[in-house]
Structure 1
Amino acid sequence: MSSIYTSLIDQALLEITTQSRDTDEVQDKYIENWKSGLISLLAEAPMPAPLNNEITLCEMSRLLSPAKLRSKAPSILEKIQADSNFYPSGISLLQQNQTMPDTVFFAVFIDQWQQSIEQAVHQHQTELIEEKRKELLKELQLRNENLENLTAVVDDELLSNGERLWDLSKGRLTHIDISLLQRFSRHLTKSPELKAIAAQLGRMAIAHVENKETPNSYETWVLDNSYQDDIPDDMQGVSYSNEISRMLQTEAVNLTFPELEIIFYKRYIERHLLSYQYQGAVDQYKKVTQFRDTADDNEENGGPFIICVDSSTSMKGSPELTAKSICYALFQIAFEQKRQCFLMMFSNEVITFPITKTTSLATVLTFLSSSFRGGTDLKPVITKSIELMKGQQYKNADTLIISDFIAQKLPSSLANEIRVLKANKNRFHAVCLSSDGNPDLMDVFDHIWKYSSILSKRFNQIR
């Protein structure tokens, strides 16, 4: 039966791909995952309660003797009268074949009942496939709308690949999201040095990576304790097959009467003989491909970004827009270089936001549209950055603090911890958005970009 449903799913997918002219690798992968999920759903989803009860009643009726089934047939049919399509046929069989031998009646009654159940199951599964097909079409339509809305404001590379941050199949971007992206894009266009800062940060990280080749994968042998149906260790239940050696005795009834042999051979050809199902374990070794830990990828690609954005009251307006535009530019670089990204917004407190493979663009934009006003306190956000950098996942990381730096000097203990981390391939950078920033805060940073509003109104690298 699974092959029938697979054919139905393939037919539904053919209609979808026919309607969708433009396809890409991400969409194809998304559709393939949808197909696999639907096949699993069809295999595991329970039948409607009335149909499930009818299936159970039919299987129980198979265990009755032919004479017992004939005597109980009226009460059995009464139980399924309200919900079963078989009820009219069953009544007709019972009333019109009073002289038929019990064994023949048993075979005909059960066979027609089974066919009716199969048709009901097929109809239920077909309706479920159609429902999921319509849902998939809506999801693909939303994705295409997102792509159209983002074409003007997002780099082409981000639109053509959805492996990580920019998975456009998840969520729907609102007009507010698109407007925010447009603001970031315009601001980066007016201030090209912001993109240059982000690109320079990306190159700095990769320069710290040793030039050595490490294979992405390797082959090894592992013990595979797989279960196979052709090993008769334990009986798991009853299923359909054409295995004569495992066939239930009730199926042999059809062979005792020449006029019923055609029913037996039909069920045999269709692999639909009710049979005992066995399963046994096989201990064998198989060669598999093992991939390196993803933590190693971070080091080879430059390590993660830890981006800390000041959202205090003094940053309101253009400074905040500049800070978040740099964030947006760094997100794109993190995507291109396949680097992890951890975002923090701070004022008196710290709000953290880890960017994972499942994070949608809409979720990121919702976070960036927020502000947390208050005073500027660098100690909590630097403390959190240090905690992250001490972990294995955030080795060779770049911490970037974007602030006006109108705050108090850091305690010497924090400054010492930063120096220790810098000696271990971690880097600390600062983008100062005010000429009034505290210069005593700058000593701990590897590189500093400062905004000059008096002369050039541009960012100048002072270290």
Structure 2
Amino acid sequence: MSESRYDIAFYVQVLDLFVKTGECATESREPLHAYLISVMNDATVKVQVLNDDICARIFYDTMLQFIQLNLEKEKYNLQKSQSERNEMKLVLEWSIKKRKDGWQALLQQISDKYQEYGFDQRFYRGQFENEGKCADEEMWEKMVDDWEEAFQQKMQDQKKKEIDFRRDALERRLHSNLKDIPEYIRRNDIDKDEFFQSWGLMSGMWNTIDFERIRKVVRIQRDYPEIVKVANKMGRIADDEGKDTMYVSEGDVYKLEHSAKCDILGITVGNDLNALLPIELAHCADNELEDLFVYKYLTNKLQTFRYKSEIMQPARRLETKPAKRKGPMVVCLDTSGSMAGKPEKIAHSLLIKILEIADRQQRSCYLIAFSVSINPIDIRKERARLLEFFSKTACGDTDATRMLQATFRLLRSSKDYMNADVLWVSDFKIPLSTSELIDMMQELREADTHFYGLQIGIADNEWAPFFDRIYRIGYTSSRRY
């Protein structure tokens, strides 16, 4: 059984499907998936998740944290056992002489570790005691395959034991959160958006002291609506300044005035194998994604073309989709001394809102904090570091050189960073950088990387020509936060 198919993306899809529809599989041979199924089939949990979006978010984040913890532990165990897996490959390359001399010790070594996991030492001993049988390539490869299968079985057994060790604590926390948090929100008349933003920074660990401390920062958005406007621009959400969307199907622009002869109406979901999108065909042909394809087929969730001929009354209806694939969000935050006080709090509130959008859109989000030195943080994966960052006070001078270099390295490190949105948050009391770095910034803009700025304060800004747009907050000291 290939374990690579059970990566974090697989579990995210399972959670997404459940919180949206209540659908889940009935069983699985993989321990973590099987446990997740058992929790999702708990009638009390299902009712709460499907009838309350706050409970849905609590369930999603709590289970996702548990999944990530177990996957990290599994990754650690696999790394520890890498030498044994390498040994399996080396054994396949043994010479005939080495096989004759070493097969008995090898069988004993494997049997000592894996007899209880189905490795049949007696069968192979009987085979290899026959003259020349250990030279049989097919038999030798079968022995290594059985060794690998027993190894995988042991890893699965270890994984199940670790899940069982943690499950009671998880379930107590989950049921407590599903009961206590909605009650606290109703009792204190807390706005849902404020909850989602504040909760998103807590990594699934609820306590009212931290929640209220974070919510206090979130509430700054009430005084400065520009914060939400900038965050939505980074998230490419249509607002009163125009839509960043067009009418499209998966990768293709629909032009209704030219589509009269085409039977394709749009995209839907189902299990019609004759109408599959190319992406689903690719999943079907991929050994590692085959199980996901079968699961989507059985639950009628395959993406398929929708044809006019399938419906009684054809309609020219198209979904509004993002005009271009969303890349990551990169926030470059000025932490020099001139940002201390209110500008710093405004910036922190913006970061929390952007994190909430990144979670909702499942986009990567990076913080590059800079003064003279830089401090990069993957804020979706390192929320504890982000909270720690909030506790520090801005200080020092400002130099954009290292920040620009770090940003460019990130954007050019992978094709996944195409169409990135980069946001500078600063008072823009920053000297212009070298012409070489400015030219690189312009090249990235031409390649569809967007550069936005939030200027906190009213200083002259030499950087404005090099940005798609700079928003401004001209704060006054009379406002409270």
TM-score, normalised to structure 1's length?
Answer: 0.51
**Residues 172 and 456 of structure 1: CA distance in aligned 2, closer, same or farther (over 3 Å):** closer
Q: Secondary structure at the match of 1:396?
A: coil
Are positions 1:387 and 2:417 aligned together? no
Residue 259 of structure 2 corresponds to: none
**Residues 388 and 207 of structure 1: CA distance in aligned 2, closer, same or farther (over 3 Å):** farther
| Mapped contact 1:309–1:346 kept (Cα < 8 A) | yes
When structure 1 is superposed on structure 2, of 339-348 and 371-380 the one drifting more is 371-380
**Residues 209 and 353 of structure 1: CA distance in aligned 2, closer, same or farther (over 3 Å):** farther
Q: Secondary structure at the match of 1:218?
A: helix
Are positions 1:183 and 2:216 aligned together? yes
Are positions 1:311 and 2:373 aligned together? no
Q: Secondary structure at the match of 1:203?
A: coil
Are positions 1:155 and 2:185 aligned together? no
Match of 2:457 among 430, 434, 454: 434
| Mapped contact 2:432–2:462 kept (Cα < 8 A) | yes
For 2:444 and 2:364, how far apart are their aligned partners in 1? Answer: 18
Q: Secondary structure at the match of 2:432?
A: coil
Q: Deviations over 1:130-184 (max 9, x none)?
A: 865532333314643566667726528949xxxxx9497x542455532332222
Q: What is the RMSD of the two structures over their aligned residues, measured on CA atoms? A: 5.3
Q: Deviations over 1:191-242 (max 9, x none)?
A: 22321232234337996677542248322565979xxxxxxxxxxxxxxxxx
For 1:299 and 1:394, how far apart are their aligned partners in 2? Answer: 16
How far did 1:330 drift?
1.9
Are positions 1:342 and 2:342 aligned together? no
| Mapped contact 1:299–1:395 kept (Cα < 8 A) | no
Paired residue type of 2:395: R
Residue 365 of structure 1 corresponds to: 387
| Mapped contact 2:429–2:461 kept (Cα < 8 A) | no
Match of 1:409 among 407, 411, 432: 432
| Mapped contact 1:198–1:330 kept (Cα < 8 A) | yes
| Mapped contact 2:426–2:456 kept (Cα < 8 A) | yes
Residue 244 of structure 1 corresponds to: none
| Mapped contact 2:224–2:473 kept (Cα < 8 A) | no
Q: Pick the structure with greater CA Rg.
A: 1
Residue 218 of structure 1 corresponds to: 280
TM-score, normalised to structure 2's length?
Answer: 0.49
| Richer in strand (by share) | 1
Q: Secondary structure at the match of 1:326?
A: helix
Match of 2:470 among 435, 448, 457: 448
Q: Secondary structure at the match of 2:249?
A: coil
For 2:476 and 2:63, how far apart are their aligned partners in 1? Answer: 52
For 1:420 and 1:314, how far apart are their aligned partners in 2? Answer: 30
How far did 1:433 drift?
1.2
**Residues 366 and 423 of structure 1: CA distance in aligned 2, closer, same or farther (over 3 Å):** same
Q: Secondary structure at the match of 2:232?
A: helix
For 1:223 and 1:188, how far apart are their aligned partners in 2? Answer: 46
Counterparts of 1:10-409 in structure 2, within 5 Å, are: 22-24=48-50, 27=59, 30=63, 134-141=168-175, 143-144=177-178, 145=180, 152=190, 155=193, 158=196, 166=200, 170-175=203-208, 177-203=210-236, 212-214=248-250, 215=277, 217-219=279-281, 222=285, 300-356=324-380, 359=381, 364-371=386-393, 373-390=395-412, 391-409=414-432
Structure 2 residue runs without a partner (length 5+):
1-27, 51-55, 78-111, 117-160, 251-276, 304-320
**Residues 318 and 13 of structure 1: CA distance in aligned 2, closer, same or farther (over 3 Å):** closer
Paired-residue identity, %: 22
| Mapped contact 2:336–2:396 kept (Cα < 8 A) | yes
Residue 421 of structure 1 corresponds to: 444
Aligned residues: 302
For 2:41 and 2:441, how far apart are their aligned partners in 1? Answer: 58
For 1:455 and 1:427, how far apart are their aligned partners in 2? Answer: 32
